Structures are given as structure tokens and as C-alpha cells.
Structure 1
Amino acid sequence: MSFMVEKAGFSALPLSLVPAVIMDTETTGLNTASDRIVEIAAVRITDGRAERDTAFQVLVNPGIAIPASSTAIHTITDADVANADGIANVIPMFSQWTGNAIVIGYSIGFDLAVLKAEHHRYGLRWSAPRSLDVRHLVELVAQDLPEQSLDTAAAWLGVPLAGRHRALGDATVALHVFQALLPKLKQRGIITLAQAERACLERTSRRHSEAQAGWHDVVDSGRTAPVNITDYARIDSFPYRHRTGDIMHSPPLSVSGTTKMSAALTLALREQISSVFVKPGAGSDEPGILTERDILRAIGANGTTALAMPVSRFAAFPLVTVAADEFVYRAISIMARRGFRHLGVTGADGKLVGALSARDLLKQRADTAVALGNDIDTAGSTEELGKVWARLTTVVRALVSEDVDPRDIAAVISRELRSLTQRACLLGEAAMELRGKGPPPQPYAMFVLGSGGRGESLLAMDQDNAIVFGKGDPGGEADRWFADLGTIVADTLNDAGVSHCKGGIMASNSEWRMDASHWRDVLSQWLSKSRPEDILNADIFFDAKTVHGDSTLLDTLRMDALRAAQNAHGFLNAMQMRAGEFTSPVGWFGKWKLEDGRVDLKRAGLMPLFSAARVLALRHGVSEPSTPSRFEAARAAGVEAAHVIDDLIEAHKILLSAILRQQLRDIEAGLKLGNSIDPAQMSGHDIQQVRWAIDQVPKIRDLLGIPAYG
């Protein structure tokens, strides 16, 4: 039998969402080598919910007499197990029931050691499961408990005791203790499975004493070692590298609603297309679509007379569209979720620019793409949103293994961060309705700032979001409504895996939640006073992108601010000087200047690069959001020293890749994610590339026209 290997991606899952079974055994004694199992039970956890109705509970005939001292504890007698299956028959059943779930239990090292001995006793193959000991987790947060028994832990956490000293009862109590521990572990920065494993691994004295007692070593140290990214399964990267505009049919073919069906059919046959769009009119302000299936259904219902009827009678309104700059995997997700075979494609101005059909996507293996998009768009709770983090990490790891451009990967991460924020808004609005506070009192836009808006987020993301609403004074009725919404959104994102912003840049804070009029006043202040904090706030605002609501509220603010910034010379000079304030992490003789064994590539490289690109965009009135596109736009505008732009764009790519790969290694190792790299974990070629990228960063001073620092 033995246990199945867990699926890739479990390391990054929050503990609350880890697919697990909480297991316990009752035995003939405490000797792991010679004693036998007399009962085995387990409760499954799926998406954070215990499935008690489908619990596994089986008595086992140990093949030897059960000592009276053991019966006195668990009450199981020889007569109870006389007709029960032996462990050799029970093991395959339990293995199939467990699947590839993580095995959790209280002092689970004992249970696994006995189970391993039973395997060997009957010549069965043994493969240890990925596991966690709840007792170890208790010790991480409550080292001062008088003892570490299950009873003591349950009493400390307020977990009722029921059915103790029988396998199912003990497994159920361990389950409740585990779930009660999760908030306390989170307060200590232990959120994911890999982080819990690393924390437990560091408790060497406990592991040593258990090993001496013959217990199984619950946490495999090999799991927290740096991993080779290419060890993971590959996926079809096409949907993550291309936008719908790359594969759409353009220009779109449209007919009026009064066009006869025969004319629409003739057009479709001549152009070899499977649908035509129908212009607004005939009772609809939105365009519609007439597909080949609509034509067949019309003829089937009406005979050939249908061909003389207007297309508006059979077309579907409104047409569902996707933006031309949207990733293909998102279009796949929409089609799969809504059962469509055709989508309209719109440009930046919202006008139709093309058509996309299922045939265009036929060759794309879309399972992962569909799952990634659907997880967010259909999530009905914080718990379901939390699953996105692990799925996104799995997709990112696979894309890295295929050497997909890290800028495309960052754009995918940013896309899902924005979708996550949008879904949190929708859940928040529903929660406000349930609380009796009604719908939004004013039109509003929720927007993300910084890297999420630029499309350059990596896996160490936190929240940077804000709200602009129509009208309302600070502290007024509308502002209070949006304050509550902002708090719900912030907490939802935090619980889903996107941490609260340490700098407080969240719509739950009044500084980042205002009506349009007050936003204009604040932006004017930022541009005129140019204090350090103003520069920082304005920096990320100019990267803003709407994720939910009325986008015109933000678009109008942002365009007005862009125009004002072009003439705010003091502000631009201050931003320019700030962009040039950086220090190389490479010291004398080419040695790294390490901090805790790492090099902060964001501070030493990425930040100067995206800050310089932002200055150039503001100086030349460029609305492009990403760092490479801003550099390219500056080149087109005729900036001096334009010859360095190619090197800066390539440096930006290399630094993104290095940080992303390090983050993937750190996820598996259970380390807190950041923007620093460990050179000791990198190949010689990768180190050489990063050094070259760092050497290019000072060129931004030439590009911005600021003096070099000695």
C-alpha cells in the first residue's frame, strides 16, 4: 500500500486549507517495534471543513492478546476484535481512503512508527506520508504549558473532550485542537504548510527524544531544502504568454439587427467564420452575437422561413466581451465557466476590435487555465479564495520551468491579484447587504497601486489598494460605508493569503479612501509640497489600476494628475533624485554585500529601475503602466541617452527572474517571502547575469540627467 505522494503545490497552501486527514490509532502497548494496532480512525478535512460523516473507523485484529493494562485505557477487548480484519487487510483500505492527503495527528510520530512496523511485519511496502504533529504545533505557541498532553492542550484552547482514548474520539479532539491553533500560529508568521514544517523541524530536542523512543520523524528535512524548479511538472504556457489580441480575428464582422438571416449566413460562409456580431438596436443598447448554432436552431424551429427573418430575433444579447490585452487563459476561463464558444474582443476604448472563438483556443490545454480563473471568479468565501494562492504558485512554478519571460509571469500574478481584490469587493458588498447596510451609497472605484497596477507583482505580494467614490465628506455616511467595505476587503485578502500592507496603504484607512474632490486636493498637495512621504504616495498612485466599480472615477483623476505632474518641476526633480538614490550590493573585489546571507534585489535594482521609468513617464506624459513600456515610450519621445534603455529593460527582466526563482525556493523551504536572493543557492551563470544587471542600474542617472554619486 503505503501512502500516496501528495500533489505539487501543497507547500504554499495555508494550513487552514491543506487537504488532510486527522488520524489516531489504539494499540496493544507503547512499544513501536512489537506492539500492534487494534483500532485506526481518521477524519478528513477538505477546504477547511471537517467531514465527520465520512470518518474512517475500523477495529483491527492484532493477532495477539490485548493486555489488560491496554484494555483499561481504550476499553477494546479480545472479544471486540475477534472477528475484525487483520492489519494487512485494513492497510489497503486506509491507504485508498487517505489518498494523497497530509496526515496530521497528536503525537502522530508514534502512530506512524507502529504503522510502519505493521507494514514490515506483513511484507508491505512502506512510504511515509507528508505529516504534521499537532503536539509540535502546540509547543510552538505554548511552551509554558505544564505538560504537552492532548488533554492539557484541549483544556488550554477550550476544546471539549469527548470519546477520549478511542481512535475516532482522539482524532476528533486533535482536529479541534489543530483548528484552534491556526490563529495563534498565524500570529507567529506560520501560515503555510511549509512554514509549519520548517518551524517544527527546528525543534531538534523534541525530535531527538522522539527518535530515541522509536517514533517516526514526522517532518522530512529534505522537504525544506532548496529545490530545483525544473523538477516540477510542465504545463502548456501559451495561454499565459499571449493576449487575446494576439489570436483574435480582426476586424470584427457586424450586421444590423434588421439584416435577414440568409444574408448573415452568406457572410459567415464567405468569410469562413462561425459567428457574426449584431449591432446595438432592436431593444438592446449593447451589441449581440449570432452563431452558427443559433442559425441551425432557427431553421430547426421555423424551417427555411427563418432565413427571411431578421437576425435580431435569434441573436443573443448582450455580447460577452474580453479585453484585447487580457491573457488568453482568462478568455479560456470565461468560455469554460459560462459555456460559451464565442467572445467579442474590445480595445482600450471599449469598442469591438475582434472576435475570439473556441476554435482559436482548440489547441490549448486549458485545464490549469480554467481552474486558475474559476477559483477566483466563482469563490463564495474567504476559504475558497485562499485556494487561489496555492494554485497560482503552482502555475508560476510551471511557467518558470518553461522559461517563460518573467515579465509575463509577473503580469499573470498581477492579473490574479487584481481579480482577487475584485472578488473581495463583491463578497464585501454582499456582506454589507447582509448586515443591513444596503448597496454602495455612491459610485466608486476600488483600485490597486504599485506593482499590482504596473503588472509587475511577484509572489511576495501584499495589499496596496484604495477607493475613490463620487461625493461625501470624510467621516460622512458614504465614507463610513466605504470604510466598512475597505475593512472587509482588507481582512478577506489577508485571510486569503495577501497580507495587510505594513504601510497601511489600504482602503480601510482614511488616507486611501476619499471622494473625488478630496482626492484632487490630496494629489495637488503631493505635487506641490514634494515631501518625502508625498513622493512615496504619489509614486504608487501613478501606477494605479481599477479592479472594481466605475473606472472613469480613477481614470479622470489619474489623467488630470498626469497632466499636472508634467508642470510640477519641483515634484519631478524630487522624484528624479529619489530614483537615483541607491547603493550597489557588490563591494570590493566583486563580493556581495550580504544582509543575513542575502541580497535585496528590489532595493538595489528593481526599485531604481521602476522609479526611473515612472519619472520618465510623468515627464513625457506617458500613460503606459509597466516599466519596460515606459522605457520604450521614453525612447520614442526622444530622451537623451536612449542607447541605455535596452540594457535597462534587460536588467529589469533578469532581476525579476532571480527574485521569482528565489521565492519559489523559499516557498518550498517554508521561509517568509521577500525580494532578496541567496547567492549560495544560485548557479554560476545566474549569479553572473544578476551581477551584469546590477551593473546596468547606474545608467538610469545618465538617462534622467542627474549627477553620479561617488
Structure 2
Amino acid sequence: MDRTQGGAPLLALDAVVVDTETTGLDPRKARIIELAAVRLSAGKLVDGDSFRQLIRPGAESIPAGITEVHGIDDAAVAAAPPFADVWPRFREYLGAGIVIGHTIGFDLAVWRRECEEAGLPWSRPRTLDTRLLAEIAAPKLAGYSLEKLATWLDIDLAGRHTALGDAIITARVFLALVPQLRDHGIRTVAEAERACRALTAVLDDQVRSGWAEAVEPPSRLDAERTLRRYDAYAFRRRNRDIMRTPAVFVTPDTPISQAVGRMGQEKISSLYVADSLGASEEIKAVDAGILTERDVLRAIDRFGAGALELPVRQIMARPLIAVPADAFLYRAIGRMSRHKIRHLGVVDERGHVVGALSARDLLRLRAGEAISLGDEIDDAQDAHALSVAWARLPHLAGALSGEGLSGREIAEVISRELGALSRQAAVIAERTMRESGRGEPPVPYALVVLGSAGRGESMLAMDQDNAVIFAHGDPDGPEDRWFAAFGEHVADILHQAGVPYCKGGVMAKNAAWRGSVATWLSRVDHWISRSNPADLLSVDIFFDLRAVHGDAALAMEVRQAAYDAADGQTAFAKLLVDTVRIPGSLTLFGGIRTEGGRIDIKSAGLFGLVAAARAMAIRYHVMDRSTPARLAGVKALAHASESDLDALMEAHGVFLDLIVAQQIEDAAHGLPPSNAVAIKPLSSRAQDRLRAALEAVAHVDDLARDLLFLH
């Protein structure tokens, strides 16, 4: 049984939906007379993929009253096989995945009893119950029979009271419940299970009626849950760490013989090709091509020795497939695997080629199955596919934690993939705009992520923080209206994929978070020269922005202008510091204040630390995005309070370690990830680290003010 499915999204679930017809309603006596099932794949009902089999219930007759319900009488099952012959085929159809049914506890009870009677091995599948899910989604509904749910959800009742018909209706009910459950914050299998287990009165009634438990207790799931192991190296090192520089270029007219000589001279297995051979940093990957040793060998095989006199353009591949320099190595491995290639270009934020990577460079890495996560996101063509890929993230985070990665390192991986998810949502949104007749983007633009995603500090409890910067156009002009509709699509796709809407409205679909370069520069001027504390509740995260799709140069231009405008504006930086609030989280005797046994570490210290580091970075014109890099930059420039700044860097790592570990644990138990960490389970060492971190941030606002006016 696959016990890694707790994080699977309901939106894109692979499952089997079942129904059982019996000789009666008491599971302690009833015999099975029909089994049926249909399959869900990626959250969609698979047409034509079904199982249906009548079963002979031994010597027992089918009561007339029961026959009136489902239409099956003794004659109908007289030639049918017994349960013992059918069950192995049915169990094979169920597979190792999730099984869904309406009042599934009844089905489980009769399945188990029949297996025991037939001397067959029994192991219960992991299950979800549409009856329980419906009560969670609509607690005030008059009733939860399959008829009532189908009527409420406007589902056709054709085939009712046949096993196959009821399985199909149940499948459609489940799919219709998914968006209803999402509105209640329930997105994954584990979250659905936990919510179902809270319906104790309903579950108790079912058990008293002889039904099996509709949802498995968490202790059993935990005991059997296993984590695959991943090579952590590929999640710690970035492409820039091992890329070869400079990338070697030739022109398309270069004879292949000369290109081969150049490869031998440089001791490399590929050359990049560009029309103009300026500095490689000025050549974009989209304008470049590549020639490899294998291309040359194939040309010789095809054309003979004369191939060496052909120009490179005749056998090169274009465009050059590339990866960002600051992306992690698992991204490069996954991209090579997907494209079945052995060479990649490496590009900077502007898309300019800055280096080269080959399979030889990566040979010593063994990144395992997790490397496919990034390219699964890049390959996704709709919200369902994005959801499938994104749902692997909590499992991956747990595996990386088991490999010894720090919370800070795991947060960087999460942030990079959140950026990739946002980028692919934009790609899908662009296609949707085209297909709806809205056409291509009217002007160049950049989709940017803000806040923790921009800083590389996202964790599993996240929502959307994004914005759009476009080349030109007035507010509410034709360009702005195009991007407003585009932003709606991006927000909806991300929400469906598992990244909820931002409660504070920081999304490109909202007018305040999109605009032309000129509009953004005007906003920046207002923030810096005329803002008040009320204006700064969310605009400070703008300084964390990072482009994830489109023309990154636009984003870099606006971010650089914002830092330039803030240069020397200590009043603005002071306003940012004035928004920092550090609550007292330690008692007089050094105890940790908790609520319900937990402490919200973001509120207790992380938020204030991040905000203060950002304000100091703006004051000292430190362009780094991550909090540790900002603190290090301020330390290098201020030459004061160095031990305090070191303590803040350490505190930041402690906070991320504890929050990430707690979120991984909560996600495994179906709890929505939060920033609240349970204190009692922490070791004494971990509690000591937390106390020291809370002490370090207790006066971060005063430290920031001192450093703002140091020079």
C-alpha cells in the first residue's frame, strides 16, 4: 500500500471509486452480490475504465425487498462466480491507491467479513468517504444520502441502485465536493482524513452499526509511512557552483572542422553558436544554438568525411536550452533528463549566457527521483498537472530534512519551486488569454514574486505574493486591462494548484500590484517621499521582488530604481523599522510563552527580524534579497554591532529550522502548515536555541534604529 499519498491533492487525485450491492444492510450478516468500481486519474473520471461483477452469495437467497432496490434476484446471480474467485481480480483493480466510497465503512466491513469467510488475506485500503466529506463541506445540509448530494450538486442520478451506476455517481459527487472542500481549507488527502476524523458522532454511530472505520486512525498511517531518500547535494549546490566559464562560442558559418579543433583545444564536448561573438554575457540563450560532439559524429555518419567542411549552422541545435545560474543543481539534472540532452547553457537573471554545464559536470551527483519535481512543474499544462507536481513538495521537504538539510536550505528549495510554479501558471494563463481571443501580451512584461518567495525563505505555509510590471501603458488602459485579466487567471491557477489567494490582496490581479514601469516608479516615489506608516503595511515586501517569468530586465530596472530612490532616505527606512513589533515571548525566568502549547515563531520574532534586516539593507543600499545576506552586507558596511548582527543571523536559521520541521510534521498529520511550533516535543537543546534566538531579536527594532543613523 502506498503510504506517501497523504499530501496528494484532492484536485488531482488518482483513486478508485467503489460501490457494493449486498443481500442486506447489516454488515455482520449481509453477503456481497455485486462489486463495481471506476477510476479517477489526475482528478478526472476515466471514461470506459471500470470493474463490474455479479457474485453468487452461496446458498443464501436474496430477499425480495432488497431485490426491489437494486434489481438483482437469485436468478441473476445463479451462474455468477463466488466471492473467492472475484476478490483477487477486484483487489488488483483497486491497486495500492486511495479508495473512495459513499458510506465506505459499510463496504469495508462486508469486504473484510467475506475475506475472512473465504480464507483470503485482508488488508484495508486507504479510504475517503463522500458522506463524511459532504458533511464537512456543507454542515447544514438536510441530509447526506447519495440522492440528496447528487441533487444538491446537480449530478445526474442515472443508474442509481446499480453498483456501477452508484460508483459513477459517487465519483462525480467527490469531484464536485473538491472545490467546496478547498473553500474550507482542505486540499490534500491527509487534511481530508483529519477533518473526517473530527466527525466523531457520525463515526461512532457507524461503528456501532458494525461498519469499519471509514477513515484510518493516524497512528496506523504514521507507522507505515516511509520517506524516500534523496541525494541532498543537488539541493544544496547551485548551477553557478560547478558551471564552466566562460562558455565558448563560434559563429554559424564556422566550418565544422574548425569547430572540432576548437573543442579539442578547449578540452570540451560542446560549443555554443551565436551570430555575433561579443562577450558571452551579452548573448541571450534564446538567440544562441549549440554544437556537440555527438552532432559532429552523426554528421560524419550521414555525410562522410565531407561533413567537416560544412558550416556549423547545418547541424547545430537551436535554441540553446538553459538553466538559471542561481537555480539548484537538481534543476539542471531534471532538465537534461526531460530533454534527453547532455549539455545546458547557464544564464543570469537577464537571460544572458554566463556559463556551460554538461552531463560530465553532473556525473558525480545522484539526485534520485526528486530531481523530476522541477521539470514536472515546467511541463504542466493545466492546474491539475501543477497540483500533482506541487503536492510532492511537503514529502520532498521531509526527505530533505531527513538528509540533514537546514530549514534555510529547504526554504530556498521551496522558494525556487514556488517561483517555477508561478512561472508555469503565467504560461498557462497566457495560453488561456490567447484561446479566449484576448491575444498575446500587448507589451513586454515581468511576473515577479514578492516577500519570502523573493527572498528565498518560503516555507510550507504560504500564500500568493505576486505582481506584474509591464513596459508601458496607463492605469485602466488597454494594456492594464489585459494584465488584469491575466492576473486573475494566474491567481486562480495558483489557488487551484495549492497556493491560496493572498489574504492581503498582494496579487497581480489587483490594480495596486500591477502597472507599467512608469506607474511603479511613481508608486516608489510616493512610498519613499510621502508615505506614512499605514501605507507601509505591505509595500516593504516589494523590495524583495524577483522576476520568475517574462522580461526580467523590467523587474531589475524597477527594483534598482527603488533602491536608488531610497538611498539616503533614512526617514523612509525609519518608517519601515517603526512597523516592527517584537512581542515579549520570554517570561521573567526565561520560560517560553505559548498558546495552546505552541509559539507562533513568525509573530514572536521572524517577522520583525526580516523587516528590520530589509530596512537596514535599504538604508545601506545592500541589494541582496535573503535576510542572512542582508545582515552580512550591513555588517560589512556599518562596522558596528557586529556581534548583534551575527546573533540575528543565527536566530534566523533557528527560526527556519523549527518552523520547517514543525510544518513537515503537521502536514504528515493532515494539519494545515502554520508558523506555530509545539514546545513540549522539542529537545532541551532545541528549546535553548529558541530562547537564545528570541533573546537576540527582543531589541532588533532598537538595533536597527541605531544603525540607521550611524553615519
TM-score in same-fold range (> 0.5): yes
How much does 1:140 deviate?
2.4
Q: Does 1:91 align with 2:87?
A: yes
Q: 1:190 matched to which residue of 2?
A: 186
Q: 1:42 matched to which residue of 2?
A: 37
Q: Which residue among 133, 136, 139 is the counterpart of 2:135?
A: 139
RMSD between aligned alpha carbons?
2.3
Q: Which residue among 156, 159, 164 is the counterpart of 1:163?
A: 159
1:381-438 Cα shifts (integer Å, max 9, x gaps): 1111111221122211111111112222111111111111111111111111122111
Q: 1:620 matched to which residue of 2?
A: 620
* Uncovered stretches (5+) of structure 1, i.e. residues with no partner: none
TM-score normalised by structure 2 residue count: 0.93
Q: Which residue among 68, 73, 86 is the counterpart of 1:77?
A: 73
Answer with 313-322 or 608-617: which moved more: 313-322
**2:229 alignment partner, SS class:** coil
Q: 1:220 matched to which residue of 2?
A: 216
The answer to whether the 8 A contact 1:113-1:216 is kept is: yes
Counterparts in 2 of 1:538 and 1:161: CA distance versus 1, 3 Å: closer
How much does 1:645 deviate?
2.9
Q: Which residue among 216, 221, 241 is the counterpart of 1:246?
A: 241
Counterparts in 2 of 1:622 and 1:229: CA distance versus 1, 3 Å: farther
The answer to whether the 8 A contact 2:418-2:453 is kept is: yes
How much does 1:46 deviate?
0.8
Q: Does 1:683 align with 2:683?
A: yes
Counterparts in 2 of 1:626 and 1:230: CA distance versus 1, 3 Å: farther
Q: Which residue among 118, 124, 128 is the counterpart of 1:122?
A: 118
Q: 1:608 matched to which residue of 2?
A: 608
Q: 1:502 matched to which residue of 2?
A: 503
1:51-74 Cα shifts (integer Å, max 9, x gaps): 140111111122122223332322
Question: 2: distance between equivalents of 1:535 and 1:679?
Answer: 33
Q: 2:280 matched to which residue of 1?
A: none
Question: 1: distance between equivalents of 2:276 and 2:563?
Answer: 37
2:639 alignment partner AA: V
How much does 1:175 deviate?
1.6
Q: 1:28 matched to which residue of 2?
A: 23
Q: 1:633 matched to which residue of 2?
A: 633
Overall identity of the aligned pairs, in %:
43
How much does 1:365 deviate?
3.6
Answer with 485-494 or 184-193: which moved more: 184-193
**2:89 alignment partner, SS class:** helix
Q: What is the 5 A alignment of 1:270-419?
A: 270-281=265-276, 286-347=287-348, 350-366=351-367, 368-419=369-420
Question: 1: distance between equivalents of 2:520 and 2:354?
Answer: 34
The answer to whether the 8 A contact 2:377-2:390 is kept is: no
Q: 1:445 matched to which residue of 2?
A: 446
Answer with 453-462 or 422-431: which moved more: 422-431
The answer to whether the 8 A contact 1:224-1:669 is kept is: no
Counterparts in 2 of 1:556 and 1:146: CA distance versus 1, 3 Å: closer
1:629-656 Cα shifts (integer Å, max 9, x gaps): 1112222224311233332222211111
**2:357 alignment partner, SS class:** strand
How much does 1:281 deviate?
4.0
Question: 1: distance between equivalents of 2:583 and 2:245?
Answer: 49
The answer to whether the 8 A contact 1:229-1:664 is kept is: no
Q: 2:575 matched to which residue of 1?
A: 574
TM-score normalised by structure 1 residue count: 0.93
Question: 1: distance between equivalents of 2:158 and 2:674?
Answer: 43
2:58 alignment partner AA: G
Question: 1: distance between equivalents of 2:609 and 2:300?
Answer: 60
Q: 2:52 matched to which residue of 1?
A: 57
How much does 1:348 deviate?
5.2
Question: 2: distance between equivalents of 1:701 and 1:569?
Answer: 14
1:144-199 Cα shifts (integer Å, max 9, x gaps): 44443222222232222122222111111212222222232222222222222112
1:477-525 Cα shifts (integer Å, max 9, x gaps): 2211111111111111111111111001111111111222221111111
Counterparts in 2 of 1:264 and 1:171: CA distance versus 1, 3 Å: same
* Uncovered stretches (5+) of structure 2, i.e. residues with no partner: 278-282
1:139 alignment partner AA: E
Answer with 163-172 or 452-461: which moved more: 163-172
1:111 alignment partner AA: D
The answer to whether the 8 A contact 2:33-2:77 is kept is: yes
Q: 1:523 matched to which residue of 2?
A: 524
Counterparts in 2 of 1:228 and 1:275: CA distance versus 1, 3 Å: farther
Question: 2: distance between equivalents of 1:186 and 1:354?
Answer: 44
The answer to whether the 8 A contact 2:346-2:353 is kept is: yes
Answer with 358-367 or 437-446: which moved more: 358-367
How much does 1:699 deviate?
5.8
Question: 2: distance between equivalents of 1:207 and 1:604?
Answer: 39
Question: 1: distance between equivalents of 2:642 and 2:584?
Answer: 22
**1:289 alignment partner, SS class:** strand
The answer to whether the 8 A contact 1:15-1:182 is kept is: yes
Question: 2: distance between equivalents of 1:25 and 1:550?
Answer: 56
Q: Which residue among 169, 173, 197 is the counterpart of 2:169?
A: 173
1:22-44 Cα shifts (integer Å, max 9, x gaps): 11111122232232111100111
Q: 1:265 matched to which residue of 2?
A: 260
The answer to whether the 8 A contact 1:449-1:464 is kept is: yes
**1:72 alignment partner, SS class:** helix
1:118 alignment partner AA: E
Question: 2: distance between equivalents of 1:405 and 1:419?
Answer: 21
Counterparts in 2 of 1:348 and 1:480: CA distance versus 1, 3 Å: closer
The answer to whether the 8 A contact 1:516-1:557 is kept is: yes
Counterparts in 2 of 1:63 and 1:399: CA distance versus 1, 3 Å: same
**2:193 alignment partner, SS class:** helix
Counterparts in 2 of 1:656 and 1:278: CA distance versus 1, 3 Å: same
1:30 alignment partner AA: L
2:704 alignment partner AA: L
1:593-626 Cα shifts (integer Å, max 9, x gaps): 2234321111112112211221221112111111
The answer to whether the 8 A contact 1:642-1:703 is kept is: no
Question: 1: distance between equivalents of 2:375 and 2:634?
Answer: 38
Q: 1:658 matched to which residue of 2?
A: 658
The answer to whether the 8 A contact 2:128-2:193 is kept is: yes
1:92 alignment partner AA: P
Question: 1: distance between equivalents of 2:212 and 2:686?
Answer: 39
Question: 2: distance between equivalents of 1:89 and 1:197?
Answer: 32
The answer to whether the 8 A contact 1:252-1:352 is kept is: yes
Q: 1:235 matched to which residue of 2?
A: 230
2:200 alignment partner AA: T
The answer to whether the 8 A contact 1:432-1:485 is kept is: yes
Question: 2: distance between equivalents of 1:154 and 1:216?
Answer: 24
1:171 alignment partner AA: A
How much does 1:261 deviate?
3.1
1:556 alignment partner AA: E
**2:392 alignment partner, SS class:** helix
* Count of residue pairs brought into register by the alignment: 699
Question: 2: distance between equivalents of 1:133 and 1:320?
Answer: 46
Question: 1: distance between equivalents of 2:315 and 2:191?
Answer: 56
Q: 1:109 matched to which residue of 2?
A: 105
